[in-house]
Amino acid sequence: MSNFREKLLANLDKIKQNELHQQYPAKTNDEIEDTLFQKYRTELTASSGAGKTPDQVKVETECDRNSTVDSYRYIPRFHFELPKSADSLAQKLREEARTLFLQKRSKELLDNGEFKLLWSLLEKHHSPPLVGEEQYINYENYCKVGLIAGEKFRRYLTATTFARLLASSSNPGKISVISLFNYTMRKVWLQQTRIGLSLYDYTGQGFLSESDMESYILELIPTFPQLEGLEKSFHSFYVCTTVRKFFFFLDPLRTGRIRIRDVLTCSFLDDLLELRDEEIPKDAQELNWFSAPSALSVYGHYLNLDKDHNGMLSKKELIGYGSGTLTPIFLERVFAECLTYDGEMDYKTYLDFVLALENRAEPQSLHYLFRILDVEHKGYLTAFTLNYFFKGIQEELSAHRAEPINFDDVKDEIFDMVKPADPTRITLKDLINCGHGETVVSILIEFHKFWAYENREVMVTSTTSEDTHNL
């Protein structure tokens, strides 16, 4: 490589600058340099093979050709282009093939009758003695159950499954029968759910778009006893409320799609399918974002904020959100960064806003809020940025006739909490890793939270005094 570079530079030195511009009058210096590079590279490559005989060149060329052909014999094709939108026949063929494949996979899953058979076999072949009232089974009897149950069960009763459950077993050499049964049920449920989600993945790439997810949730509504009383006119708002949580947390970069694998592994699906239970305690319903009371509450707050009843929220209307102490400077940035329509926020954008503020400790929420705080779009926050937002807090302090607070003290405290890699700037990574991201964001955007943080020691002392008095 160094030899080639020396020859190239030597050739370039031979040509004068004026001659180059006369030879290539319409080209810039960079374009001339590229042209000469290609020219000299071709010449040097040709000269490097000049010392070889025609037979040597022929043998080398033949070897290269044969090795290429042989590689195609052993390396299978791994990329298949999706049918073009104009090719309706190919699209229909692909869709039918995927449906048949998913139906085949669905038939391989255990049904209720087969689960009853599995339970009876596990009870019959458990390995005594009982530990308390719990049954255990050793590996020998475990294998026996697999043989008796048949081929369909063996894919669940593997050596790997036994070893995995044995690692968490308190009984040496044995695993809990109920743990094994629950593990099998959970695995079948996940496979069923994956097949159900895959039916809406029309491209077959393992992703769901927002409209795909909306279709899936809409068809689930009639299967949930907890949603029986939900009016049909509210279904579209319920679907929107549900889908936004999945996309807010699983698609923080706003690509417009989420992986089916991520949907299956997150806890949201458990919360959603909890609605299949006939009875759920009232407090559990309030904590579940997907429950009817929770969805109605979120939508009800949106309607209450919408004072002019036009179905959208202005900056003035959004000031009433939560404690009503979000600073105007912060809200101004929210409307500057988020999707709005004629300067007003729709329900979908409002849901992202709510999810971010209600889950401030989560990385996805910090990502959302950091984008709003990053006024200069530099990818980091500086003392200037912190001061820009703290002015909103200072204005509130003045309005409440509270004692003014020196910004430098607040800035130093924030940098001490975050401990950024660069002592002059705070990145999103710094904010997430420090473990105090929620606190940092809150004291910059909401007066109520800032006041609580500033007087935290007084509040702790007051609480301790009350507890002592009660004793």
DSSP per position, 22-51: HHSTTS-HHHHHHHHHHHHHHHHHHHHTTT
SS (H, E, C) 384-431: HHHHHHHHHHHHHHHHCCCCCCCHHHHHHHHHHHHCCCCCCCEEHHHH
Select from 420, 338, 409, 329 the least CA-distant residue to 382: 420
Length of the chain: 471
Residue 88 has what pLDDT?
Answer: 85
Residue 312 has what pLDDT?
Answer: 95
Beta bridge partners of 313: 345
Residue 352 has what pLDDT?
Answer: 96
Separation between Cα atoms, residue 9 and residue 37, nearest integer Å = 10
Residue 247 CB: number of other CB atoms within 10 A? Answer: 22
* Residues 157/121, Cβ–Cβ less than 8 Å: no
How is residue 232 annotated by DSSP?
G
Residue 57 has what pLDDT?
Answer: 45
pLDDT digits (tens, 9 = 90+) for 337-367: 998 999 999 999 999 999 999 999 999 999 9
Residue 419 has what pLDDT?
Answer: 95
Architecture of domain 202-305: Orthogonal Bundle (1.10)
Residue 48 has what pLDDT?
Answer: 52
Distances in Å between the Cα of 58 and the Cα atoms of 48, 49, 65, 423 are 16, 12, 11, 64
Beta bridge partners of 131: 134
**Which tokens belong to 268?**
């949201």
Out of 3.30.70.1050, 1.10.238.10, 3.30.750.24, 1.20.1050.10, the CATH code matching 307-463 is 1.10.238.10
pLDDT digits (tens, 9 = 90+) for 77-133: 777 788 887 888 888 888 888 889 999 999 999 999 999 999 999 999 999 998 888
Q: Maximum Cα–Cα distance for the chain, whole Å? A: 103
Residue 92 has what pLDDT?
Answer: 86
Select from 223, 238, 197 the least CA-distant residue to 276: 223
Residue 356 has what pLDDT?
Answer: 96
pLDDT at 307 over 80: yes
Backbone angles phi, psi at 52, to 5 degrees: -95, 145
Select from 455, 451, 453, 443 the least CA-distant residue to 330: 443
Kind and range of the H or E run holding 63? helix 54-74
Separation between Cα atoms, residue 59 and residue 54, nearest integer Å = 9
- Could you tell me the sign of the dihedral formed by the alpha carbons of 271, 275, 280, 283, in that order? positive
Q: Give the percent of the chain with pLDDT over 70.
A: 82
Q: Where are the domains of the chain?
A: 107-194, 202-305, 307-463
* Residues 352/248, Cβ–Cβ less than 8 Å: yes
Q: Give the percent of the chain with pLDDT over 90.
A: 64
What is the average per-residue pLDDT within 46-68?
A: 51
Residue 153 has what pLDDT?
Answer: 93
- Considering 1-10, 43-52, 447-456, the range whose residues carry the highest mean pLDDT is 447-456
307-317 core/surface letters (b: 16 or more CB in 10 A; e: else) = eeeeebbbeeb
pLDDT category of residue 59 using cuts at 50, 70 and 90: very low
Separation between Cα atoms, residue 289 and residue 275, nearest integer Å = 11
Residue 147 CB: number of other CB atoms within 10 A? Answer: 11
Residue 322 has what pLDDT?
Answer: 87
Answer whether 202-305 and 307-463 agree in fold: yes
